[in-house]
Chains A and B, each alone.
Chain A
Amino acid sequence: MNINATLIGQAIWFALFVAFCMKFVWPPISRALDERKQKIAEGLSAADRAERDLELAQEKASANLKDAKDKAAEIIEQANKRANQIVEEAKDQARVEGERLIAKAQSEIDQEINRAREELRKEVSALALSGAEQVLAREVNRDSHKQLLDDLAAQL
């Protein structure tokens, strides 16, 4: 337990080891630890940001969904209205068409009636003429009374 130069030797070891650790050990490790700390902090804040972003996106998405629903409802309503309109128009058209057809048929019927009447009249006048001829065979000259007979036929 003598005090001797070991004091100095140990002091030299001590200084060497402290200097070594100060230069080659502490700075790189403590830098790495600091960087990791920063990385973790960044990661956490990024996670926070992402969470906020997600919330915003969800809000936006639900707003969009609501918009779309509204729009869809509007479109359906419009479509319904339009469909009703089309049906109404079709009904109108059908009615008009029907009326037109009826009118056309009526006019054709009228024409037929007129033609029939004309023919009937011609036939009656011919019959009357032939009757009158037979009655007045002698007195009436077909050529001299032609004018008269035509007038008569026209009047019938």
Chain B
Amino acid sequence: MAASSASEYIKHHLGNLTYGQLPAGYERSCHGHEETLSDATWTFACNAQEASDMGFAAIHVDSMAWSGGLGILMCLLFWLMARKASPNTPSGMMNFVELIIEFVDGQVRDSFHGKSKLIAPLSLVIFCWVFVMNLMDLIPVDVVPMTFQWIMTTFFGWSAHEAYFRIVPTTDPNITLSMSICVFFLVIFYTIKVKGVGGFLGELSFKPFEAGSTVGKIALLPINLVLETISLLAKPVSLGLRLFGNMYAGEFVFILVAGMMGTWQAIAAWPWAVFHILVITLQAFIFMVLTIVYLSMAVEEH
């Protein structure tokens, strides 16, 4: 373990490998080595403070790489299977992929009654991608980060403290919120597409409190607007934070167990890992189902 104390160990495990811009005049203090930047510099953050000081002009390289890599793997598998797809008897991996597709298709058909070429593939991607990203949680917490640390210190001359690495993208709120915000924009897009801008604004203004007369409508407009806007904005926030919260908490338990027990985590973390399989699948499923539900609410009168 590279970190000297349990608290540092945990902090190190919760830091992302961040590449971003530090402003001019920034005073760097990387493990005893101090310098003041004369220009704005793009670099890897060497501690949590720097990562936070980079502001929005930074990117979590580990999250991006793992989510992208897993997504590409998933697409590759699907693509290979799609090329083999035929109405004849399926075999091997094809059975598995068809099982997933039929499952997702069933969920979409159950909840979404409009016609859309996007919803089903969208749900498929959300379910499978979130699932494989969550699945990274089951890899013992130190295996990949320590390998990364070893590579960076041996070949690139980094110090061990700099080498932040997290392999579960869904424990990064950027990842989950990004997906939920995409879903949110799709919801707004579909609402406007089906009901028009007037319908969209009308839903925000005249519900949930309805009035018969024009005066009543105007009187209730402010409270309706506030309530509906909050409930609209709560959708992406709750969607993203639910996934993030569950995965973060799960990872945190793994890190705590690993921090307390070292090598013995293999025994101690096992029951939690078994239980976590349920959480991983359930959260992926919930994210998909809520996406479908939100989109079906967008296209249906209610």
Contact = CB atoms under 8 A, between A and B. Distances in A.
B229 to A, nearest CB: 21
B74 interface: yes
B250 to A, nearest CB: 16
B105 A30 contact: yes
Contact of B83 (A28, A31, A36, A39): A28
A29 interface: yes
B101 to A, nearest CB: 5
A1 interface: yes
A150 B208 CA distance: 166
Contacts of A2: 18, 51-52, 54-55, 58
Interface of A is mostly: helix
B56 interface: yes
Interface size class of A (residues with CB under 8 A): 20 to 34
A17 B178 contact: no
Contacts of B118: 18, 22
Interface stretch (B64-72, B190-198, B218-226): B64-72
Interface stretch (A8-16, A79-87, A119-127): A8-16
A35 interface: yes
B121 A6 contact: no
Interface size class of B (residues with CB under 8 A): 35 or more
A113 interface: no
A103 to B, nearest CB: 95
Contact of A5 (B51, B56, B87, B121): B56
A11 B105 CA distance: 23
Given A21-B78, A32-B85, A15 B182 contact: yes
Nearest to B60: A6
A17 B71 contact: yes
Nearest to A2: B52
Interface string A13-50: 11111101110111011111101101100000000000
Interface of B: 14, 16, 18, 20, 51-52, 54-60, 63-64, 67-68, 71, 74-75, 78-79, 81-83, 85-88, 97-98, 101-102, 105, 117-118, 120-122, 124-125, 129, 169, 172-175, 177-179, 181-182
25 contacts: A3-B56, A4-B20, A4-B55, A4-B56, A6-B172, A9-B59, A10-B63, A10-B175, A10-B178, A11-B182, A13-B68, A17-B75, A18-B121, A18-B122, A21-B78, A22-B117, A24-B82, A29-B85, A29-B97, A29-B98, A30-B101, A32-B85, A33-B101, A38-B87, A39-B87
Interface of A: 1-11, 13-18, 20-22, 24-26, 28-33, 35-36, 38-39
